[in-house]
Amino acid sequence: MSQFLSRLLVTIVGLPLVLWVVWLGGWWLFALVAAAALVGLHELYGMARSLRPLVLAGYAGALATLLGAQLGGAAWMVGGFALTLLLAFLLYGIAETRQTGTITIGSTQLGVAWIGLGLGHVLLLRDLPEEGRLLAFTVLLAVFADDTAAYLVGRLVGRHKLAPSLSPGKTWEGFVAGTAAAVAVAFFALYDQESLTIPESLVLGGAIALAGAAGDLFESALKRDLKVKDSGRLLGGHGGMLDRIDALLFAAVAAFYVVLAFGYS
């Protein structure tokens, strides 16, 4: 099966399922993001095994981060994240590792900061009053539209490399197409709603696009540093879990604070 057909099949099956769970919200969404976080951490720690991350501390810290977001919002989420450092330090004290504490604890904390906090902001978005469901839908669909447009346009007409030292496959043509798609999704989803004005919906779309591109390049930089091509093969042509959600991990954070900056909470 070609990479394109594999990506298409995963999208046809996966996207409606994710949107349905977001529609349900609550503990259904918590279960989905918790599963995604654990799989993502498993992939990251597998790629970074030479750094000797403290896997159990990472798993526990990510779950505590997400549980904090689910039960108490942003403040509790940060508290759950802070627990990771304590757990990592305690485990480092009893673990037999050849790495230094700075590298071992740092790589553990990085995984929870990137994946746990990123997905935690998906929960925070969904829990915003009144329009939380719509805003979560908007972010997910904008990220999907951005990724799809960038991939197709980049393959068809992409000529100018966006960041060749980090990700040789990314092009400026794809970036522009993806940004336009994300802004269009945010505009059409929100322009007729009471939550955001038309200019604010356009700014939100732009923030999602820019943050999503940064998230994609961030994962590419990590993979390049760790000398791997894909984070895994779980999703066929999409690669691993991290290859699918890398843009969302940055975009959800950006979207949440842009919405708060516009006075919606």
Using DSSP, state whether 262 is helix, strand or coil. Answer: coil
pTM of the model: 0.92
Phi, psi of 168 (to 5 degrees): -60, -20
Tell me what pLDDT residue 68 has. Answer: 98
> How many domains are there within the chain?
1
- Amino acid at residue number 90: L
Give the pLDDT score at 208. 98
Question: Which residue range is the domain that position 32 belongs to?
Answer: 3-261
> Which stretches of 153-260 are assigned E, i.e. beta strand?
161-163, 167-171
Tokens of 245: 């959600």
Stretches where the chain sits below pLDDT 70 are 1-11, 230, 232-238, 265
| DSSP assigned state of 115 | I
**Pair 241, 104: CB distance under 8 Å:** no
pLDDT in tens, 186-233: 999 987 777 788 999 999 999 999 999 999 999 999 998 998 876 766
